[in-house]
Amino acid sequence: MSLSIEELAGQYHQGWVDRDPDVIVVLHTEDSTFHMHGVTDPAVGRAAVRDLIASLLRLVPDLHFEAKRAYFGADHIVLEYDMSGTSGGSYFVCDGVDVIAVREGLVARKDTYLDVVALVDQIGALPYIGAAV
Protein backbone atom coordinates (compact mmCIF):
# COMPACT_ATOMS: atom_id res chain seq x y z
CA MET A 1 0.00 0.00 0.00
CA SER A 2 1.41 3.36 -0.94
CA LEU A 3 -0.84 6.32 -0.30
CA SER A 4 -0.16 9.99 -0.90
CA ILE A 5 0.38 12.06 2.24
CA GLU A 6 -3.09 13.57 1.88
CA GLU A 7 -4.78 10.18 1.31
CA LEU A 8 -2.99 8.72 4.33
CA ALA A 9 -4.00 11.68 6.51
CA GLY A 10 -7.63 11.37 5.41
CA GLN A 11 -7.88 7.60 5.94
CA TYR A 12 -6.01 7.81 9.23
CA HIS A 13 -8.26 10.56 10.54
CA GLN A 14 -11.35 8.61 9.48
CA GLY A 15 -10.10 5.52 11.33
CA TRP A 16 -9.87 7.57 14.52
CA VAL A 17 -13.28 9.18 13.89
CA ASP A 18 -14.73 5.67 13.48
CA ARG A 19 -12.77 4.50 16.58
CA ASP A 20 -11.59 1.42 14.69
CA PRO A 21 -8.14 0.17 15.78
CA ASP A 22 -7.99 -2.34 12.92
CA VAL A 23 -8.49 0.38 10.29
CA ILE A 24 -5.97 2.63 12.03
CA VAL A 25 -3.24 0.05 12.49
CA VAL A 26 -3.32 -1.20 8.89
CA LEU A 27 -2.08 2.31 8.02
CA HIS A 28 1.06 1.74 10.15
CA THR A 29 4.23 0.01 9.00
CA GLU A 30 5.03 -3.38 10.56
CA ASP A 31 7.82 -1.76 12.62
CA SER A 32 5.88 1.40 13.47
CA THR A 33 6.21 3.21 16.80
CA PHE A 34 3.40 5.08 18.57
CA HIS A 35 4.52 7.19 21.53
CA MET A 36 2.14 9.27 23.63
CA HIS A 37 4.79 11.36 25.37
CA GLY A 38 4.24 11.80 29.10
CA VAL A 39 1.36 9.31 29.04
CA THR A 40 2.66 5.87 28.00
CA ASP A 41 5.79 4.08 26.98
CA PRO A 42 6.26 3.76 23.21
CA ALA A 43 4.40 0.92 21.50
CA VAL A 44 6.69 -0.67 18.92
CA GLY A 45 5.44 -2.94 16.14
CA ARG A 46 2.04 -3.10 14.52
CA ALA A 47 0.53 -5.48 17.13
CA ALA A 48 1.67 -3.32 20.07
CA VAL A 49 0.44 -0.17 18.34
CA ARG A 50 -2.97 -1.79 17.81
CA ASP A 51 -3.13 -2.84 21.47
CA LEU A 52 -2.33 0.70 22.62
CA ILE A 53 -4.95 2.23 20.33
CA ALA A 54 -7.58 -0.31 21.45
CA SER A 55 -6.75 0.39 25.11
CA LEU A 56 -7.08 4.12 24.60
CA LEU A 57 -10.43 3.70 22.85
CA ARG A 58 -11.72 1.43 25.65
CA LEU A 59 -10.63 3.98 28.24
CA VAL A 60 -12.26 6.89 26.37
CA PRO A 61 -15.07 5.40 24.26
CA ASP A 62 -16.33 8.84 23.22
CA LEU A 63 -12.89 10.09 22.16
CA HIS A 64 -13.19 12.99 19.72
CA PHE A 65 -10.73 15.18 17.83
CA GLU A 66 -11.50 18.70 16.64
CA ALA A 67 -8.93 19.58 13.98
CA LYS A 68 -7.17 22.94 14.21
CA ARG A 69 -4.37 22.76 11.65
CA ALA A 70 -2.60 20.23 9.44
CA TYR A 71 0.84 20.48 7.89
CA PHE A 72 2.03 18.11 5.17
CA GLY A 73 5.55 17.41 3.93
CA ALA A 74 7.02 14.80 1.62
CA ASP A 75 7.58 12.38 4.52
CA HIS A 76 5.58 13.75 7.43
CA ILE A 77 2.27 15.03 8.73
CA VAL A 78 1.77 17.36 11.69
CA LEU A 79 -1.73 17.66 13.13
CA GLU A 80 -2.93 20.12 15.77
CA TYR A 81 -6.26 19.42 17.46
CA ASP A 82 -8.42 19.57 20.57
CA MET A 83 -8.91 16.10 22.03
CA SER A 84 -12.00 15.52 24.15
CA GLY A 85 -13.94 12.71 25.75
CA THR A 86 -14.93 11.19 29.05
CA SER A 87 -12.56 9.23 31.28
CA GLY A 88 -13.55 7.84 34.66
CA GLY A 89 -16.78 9.83 34.54
CA SER A 90 -14.98 13.14 33.97
CA TYR A 91 -15.27 15.08 30.73
CA PHE A 92 -12.05 16.59 29.41
CA VAL A 93 -10.71 18.65 26.54
CA CYS A 94 -7.03 19.36 25.90
CA ASP A 95 -4.69 20.50 23.16
CA GLY A 96 -2.84 17.87 21.17
CA VAL A 97 -0.25 17.61 18.43
CA ASP A 98 0.69 14.54 16.39
CA VAL A 99 3.99 14.40 14.55
CA ILE A 100 3.76 11.55 12.06
CA ALA A 101 6.71 10.22 10.08
CA VAL A 102 5.62 8.58 6.82
CA ARG A 103 7.44 5.84 4.93
CA GLU A 104 6.13 4.33 1.69
CA GLY A 105 2.66 5.76 2.26
CA LEU A 106 2.26 4.43 5.82
CA VAL A 107 2.75 5.74 9.35
CA ALA A 108 6.28 4.77 10.39
CA ARG A 109 6.21 6.70 13.67
CA LYS A 110 3.58 8.70 15.52
CA ASP A 111 4.58 10.99 18.36
CA THR A 112 1.64 12.43 20.29
CA TYR A 113 2.04 15.43 22.58
CA LEU A 114 -0.90 16.36 24.82
CA ASP A 115 -1.42 19.17 27.31
CA VAL A 116 -1.07 16.71 30.18
CA VAL A 117 -1.36 19.45 32.83
CA ALA A 118 -4.80 20.45 31.51
CA LEU A 119 -5.79 16.79 31.22
CA VAL A 120 -4.81 15.97 34.82
CA ASP A 121 -6.56 19.12 36.07
CA GLN A 122 -9.78 17.81 34.52
CA ILE A 123 -9.68 14.06 35.22
CA GLY A 124 -7.19 13.68 38.08
CA ALA A 125 -4.27 11.27 37.85
CA LEU A 126 -3.76 9.73 34.44
CA PRO A 127 -5.09 6.18 34.25
CA TYR A 128 -2.94 3.31 33.06
CA ILE A 129 -3.17 3.01 29.28
CA GLY A 130 -2.05 -0.36 28.06
CA ALA A 131 -3.24 -3.70 26.77
CA ALA A 132 -4.62 -4.69 30.18
CA VAL A 133 -7.17 -1.84 30.40
**Partner residues linked to 97 by β-bridges:** 80, 113
Q: How far apart are CA 14 and CA 26, in angstroms?
A: 13
7-30: per-residue pLDDT in tens? Answer: 999 999 999 999 999 999 999 999
Q: How far apart are CA 59 and CA 123, in angstroms?
A: 12
Long-range contacts of 51-59 (CB under 8 A, 24+ apart): 51/130, 51/131, 52/129, 52/130, 52/131, 53/21, 53/24, 53/25, 54/21, 54/131, 55/129, 55/130, 55/131, 55/132, 55/133, 56/129, 57/19, 57/21, 58/133, 59/87, 59/127, 59/129, 59/133
80-95: per-residue pLDDT in tens? Answer: 999 999 988 999 999 9
Q: Bin 59: left if φ > 0, else alpha if -120 < ψ < 50, else beta.
A: alpha
57-73: per-residue pLDDT in tens? Answer: 999 999 999 999 999 99
Q: What percent of the chain has pLDDT over 90?
A: 85
- CB-side neighbour CA atoms (13 Å) of 125: 2
CATH of 5-123, one of 3.10.450.50, 3.30.70.890, 3.30.413.10, 3.40.1390.20: 3.10.450.50
Q: Where are the domains of the chain?
A: 5-123
Q: Distance from CA of residue 73 to its chain's centroid?
A: 19
